[in-house]
Amino acid sequence: MVLFPFRDYFWFYAGFILFVFAVLAVDLGLFHRKAHVIKMREAVGLSVFWITLALLFNFGFYLYCKHEFSQNPQLMALSGFDPDQQARYSALEFLTGFIVEKSLAVDNLFIFVVLFRFFGIPAQSQHKILFWGILGAVFFRIIFIALGAVLLQIHWINLLLGGFLVLTGLKIFFSPDHAINPETNPFLRFLQRVLPVTHKTDEGKFFLKVGSAWKVTPLMICLIFIEFCDIVFAIDSVPAIFAITKEPLIVLTSNVFAILGLRALYFLLAGVVDKFHFLKFGLGLVLMFVGLKMAWLNDLFGGKFPIAWSLVIITGLVGGSIALSLMLPQKKSTN
């Protein structure tokens, strides 16, 4: 049973996507029209803004669900909840999905830090790259979520993806830490081989005219590589949220809201993200949990593992790994 089928709520999907692009247009065109270094105070303000916007949306979504469900007693009879209970459940699913995506996104910040250092991207140009990277990420997430909504109607695919998430979580949990070296990546070597590249980054542009020829700057190569990394990242994160809820509308909105705040999160945590050395264990356990939820626990609990339990478990794993990192700081190598 899907509470928000696309054929009946296509206007909601379309309206939400238009809202997202409108917010991004205001962000770039009004607040970040000029390239500048994002300092801590601005990063904190942006993070608070995006998180508050997501929570306000969730509250509005709860009120909308409560009104919508009260108009459909037959649907409530099938769900076994009254309108308020079902609205609260849907709002909790959004919140849990948002926290899962936000937590997994922290791991992505390590990649951003390495890439910006590797390509020598000036601090004032990093926001521009992340803006267009997030715009592309929203586009690709819409495609992944649409495919997931169709494919996950097949039960054995739930089992397959659940098993994949468990194995990915185990790999993250037990794999040793390795320094990320973009220079050895075959995709990057391919880009540098087929595209005319200039090493100039001082003008903050994606393309520059050098002599009579147009060339690609390191900013553009970095952007393409970030989009490639996000597609790989989405292979884990989208199934993880589908393990929380089978509602494509909730998957889309929670996923996109988490992505929208990723730039602010980067500038907030870029300098300290390496201190969260236990975070990978928390994220590994989160992926193992949501994989088990998708492949086994949902069926064990009559189709839906309690969403409140999921929220507590996921928040506890992520929060606990961050707290442990701060309480037990990593010893610096003396070599």
Mean pLDDT by 10 residues, the chain (335 residues): 88 94 78 71 88 96 94 82 92 95 81 82 86 88 90 87 91 73 75 81 79 86 88 85 92 93 84 81 91 89 87 93 90 58
What pLDDT is recorded for position 333? 54
Question: What pLDDT is recorded for position 30?
Answer: 63
In a domain, 1, yes or no: no
What lies within 8 Å, CB to CB, of 278 at 6+ separation is: 321, 322, 324, 325, 328
Number of domains in the chain: 1
User: 234: Cβ–Cβ under 8 A, 6 or more apart, which residues?
Assistant: 137, 140, 141, 144
In this structure, are residues 238 and 251 in contact, taking their beta carbons and an 8 Å threshold? yes
pTM of the model: 0.88
Rounded alpha-carbon distances, angstroms, from residue 239 to 202, 267, 287, 312: 40, 27, 10, 19
Question: Residue 269 has what pLDDT?
Answer: 82
Angstrom distance (rounded) from CA 84 to CA 82: 6
What's the angle, vertex CA 10, arms to CA 5 and CA 13, rounded to 5? 100
Counting every residue written for the chain, the total comes to 335
pLDDT (0 to 100) of residue 68: 92
Q: Assess if residue 257 is contained within a domain.
A: yes
Is 333 inside any structural domain? Answer: no
Q: What is the pLDDT of residue 33?
A: 66
**Is position 225 within any domain?**
yes
In a domain, 47, yes or no: yes
- Is residue 138, in this structure, part of any structural domain at all? yes
Give the pLDDT confidence score for residue 303 in this predicted structure: 78
Tell me whether residue 12 is in a domain.
yes
Strands (E), the chain: 207-210, 213-216
* Domain that includes residue 209, residue range: 6-327
Q: How far is the C-alpha of 300 from the C-alpha of 305, rounded, in Å?
A: 8
Burial track 243-280 (b if 16+ CB lie within 10 A, e otherwise): bbbbbbbbbbbbbbbbbbbbbbbbbbbbeebeebbbbb
Q: Answer whether residue 334 is part of any domain.
A: no
CA torsion, ordered 274, 161, 90, 234, to nearest 10 deg: 40
pLDDT of residue 19: 93
